[in-house]
Amino acid sequence: MKQWYPINKTSNQTTNMGSCTLRGLCDEHSQDLFELELHTPERTEDMVNGRNSPVIRTDASDGISWVFDYSEVVKRDQLPILTESQYIGEAYELDSSYRAVECVPKSECDLAFNITADLHGTSYTVRKNGVKLDDSRELPDDFFTSRMWIMTPFGHQKCFPIERRLSSGAIAGIIIACLVVLSITIGVIMGCLNRHKERQNKFDEEDPLSESLL
C-alpha cells in the first residue's frame, strides 16, 4: 500500500512516496524505475478566493494533479498505473519536497507522465532508470477542453513526431515547380494534338477516295 509520510520542515527532508530503496528494486528484464521529484513553492494564491493558501490542493481543476499511465487512451484501464491520489491526501504542503519511486512496466513511448499545466510555482523532475526526461509537450485534456496537461513520454528516445514546417520560400518554390510541370504537361498535350491534326490533314490530301467524295 502506498503511503504519504508527513514532512518535518525544520529538518529539510523530502517526503518519499512509494518505495524508497533504489538498488535492485526493479526487475531489469520487465521493469523500469520511475522517479518523480516535486517541490512546492513557499506561497501560492487560492484560485477561488484570491488569498494566500497554506496548501496546494490535488484537485486538477484548481490544484496540481498528475498521473502515470499509457499515453494512448485506448490502452488505459479504469485505474491508472500511478497517480497522486495513491500517495497524497487532499493537498501538498507549501515549501516541501516530495519524491515517488516505483517500478513500472518496461516500455518506451507507450507510457507517459502527465501533470496539470498550471503548476502554481511547483517544480518537478521525471527520471527513467536515473536518467532525466526532458521531452515534454502541452496537450489538451481528453474530456475538459479548457484544461491543459504537460505530457512527458517515458522513453529515452524522442517519442513525439517531429514537426517539419515549410518556410514561405519553400512553399513558393513548390508552387512554381507545380506551375512549370503543369505548363510542360499542357504543352506536350497540345503538341500531340497538333501532330495528330497534321497527320489527319496529310492523310486526307493523299487519299483519292476522300478527294472523289469531295
Using a pLDDT cut of 90, give the percent of the chain over it.
16
CA 36 to chain centre: 18
Tell me which residue of 73, 74, 70, 76 sits closest to 104, measured CA to CA: 70
pLDDT by residue (tens digit) across 122-162? 899 999 999 999 888 888 876 655 678 899 999 866 676 65
pLDDT bin (cut points 50, 70, 90) of residue 98 is very high
Cell of 82: 500511478
Do 32 and 26 touch, CB atoms closer than 8 A?
yes
Three-class SS state of 209: helix
pLDDT by residue (tens digit) across 10-56? 345 556 665 544 567 888 889 999 999 999 888 876 555 556 778 88
Start-to-end CA distance of the chain, whole Å, equals 105
pLDDT by residue (tens digit) across 44-62? 765 555 567 788 888 756 6
pLDDT by residue (tens digit) across 55-88? 888 875 668 889 998 887 656 666 788 988 888 8
